[in-house]
Chains A and B, each alone.
Chain A
Amino acid sequence: MTVARAYLRELSEHGFHEADTARFTAAWEQLEAAYFQRIAEVTAPFAEWRDRFRAAATETARLVEAHRAEARFLAVDALAAGELGRKHQRALASRIAALLDGARAELDDPGAVPETTSSWIVAMFFDRVYRRCTVPGAPDLPSQLPELMFLAISAYFGTATGLEELIPPP
């Protein structure tokens, strides 16, 4: 993570330059690998999609709050790198969406929900991360989790199931 952190510090001070392409890519790949490794760890104990998703979403929210510079790089500063940043963001979003779409396997009719459902969920989460990083006073990610979980689970399993996510744990 040292390479990524050093580059992020430099990027925040001086902005992106074309000559930084290799360092940008190295930093991105390091962060992305670390993120997916962490997600694999926190979801491993669970068998059902809903529990795995909740664990992944909770850990993602925690990481965004605990590692603000890294979250900002992935969600916001990458956009200033033009096509390079967009390419990486697109690939990351597609990878997460493919994992999320595992929910279909637990549906009676896997074709019953739109094909872009997982992309929709990724888009809503990304929007919350983006705004957390750009809007002063935006709500922290953990406080948004029940709403995001409600919207995500409703999209696959219906609103009645999704509403269970809004009930505070005892």
Chain B
Amino acid sequence: MADIVKAAAIARARFYENFASKEDCFFALYETATEATLDRVGTACATSIESFPERVSAGIAALLAAIEADRDAARACIVEGPAVGPPINGRFEKVIGDFAALLRTGRGDAGPSELPETVEETVVGGLYWLLYHALLEERPKRIGRLRPQLVEFSLIPFIGAEAAAAAAG
């Protein structure tokens, strides 16, 4: 707690006017950061872009830009979040579900009709843990370099490996 109030340059009493606990403060950051990122990604892949691959590419570029823009917040949410324990579980599930819904809405009729209903959740879950490991490595340029691969992985189930590789550029 001493480190937090010192870094924020506020009195301890002021902290407790805003947050009930350190955990409460962390969840405020988590929810604010994840909602802002979801908005940013949603805007980037808005339906004004014609093709599904372009929407996915734009969405992933926006996601990586958001991570680059505030790496500390990204690390707090993506890396430290799962270490919090049971109170994070519902929030984690919501983040995966929200991004999966974005992918599902964007793809429309793309992809074979026999795809399982949960394929978007699985794809987003895979993206999450790839980013988790990339952030752990703490190599700043690594995140940006992941873009083509993340785009390709996200598209393969829906448009096929060859088209996904072409779209990833």
Contacts and interface: CB of A to CB of B under 8 A. Distances in A.
Chain B interface SS verdict (over half): helix
Interface in B74-99: 82-83, 85-86, 89, 92-93, 96
Given A114-B152, A134-B89, A154-B157, A146 B116 contact: yes
Interface in A123-170: 123-124, 126-128, 130-131, 134-135, 139, 144, 146-148, 150-151, 154-155, 158-160, 162-163, 166
Given A114-B152, A159-B157, A80 B126 contact: no
Chain A interface SS verdict (over half): helix
B75 to A, nearest CB: 12
B123 interface: yes
A116 interface: yes
B161 interface: yes
Contacts of A158: 160-162
Contacts, number: 101
A147 B130 contact: no
A131 B93 contact: yes
Interface string A94-133: 0000000000000000001111110111111011101100
Nearest to A154: B156
Nearest to A167: B114
B108 interface: no
A93 interface: yes
Contacts of B83: 79-80, 82
Given A123-B130, A127-B128, A163 B114 contact: yes
Interface residues of A, number: 41
Nearest to A85: B83
A5 interface: no
A122 B165 CA distance: 20
A166 B115 CA distance: 8
Given A79-B83, A124-B122, A154-B161, A135 B129 contact: no
Contacts of A159: 112, 156-157, 160-161
A114 B123 contact: no
28 contacts: A90-B133, A114-B148, A114-B152, A115-B149, A116-B146, A116-B149, A120-B149, A123-B125, A123-B126, A123-B127, A123-B129, A123-B130, A127-B125, A128-B122, A130-B125, A134-B92, A135-B89, A144-B118, A146-B116, A147-B118, A150-B119, A154-B161, A155-B153, A155-B156, A155-B161, A159-B160, A163-B112, A166-B116
Interface of A: 76, 79-80, 82, 86, 90, 93, 112-117, 119-124, 126-128, 130-131, 134-135, 139, 144, 146-148, 150-151, 154-155, 158-160, 162-163, 166
Q: Which 5 A-B pairs have the closest CB atoms?
A: A127-B125, A124-B126, A123-B129, A123-B126, A147-B116
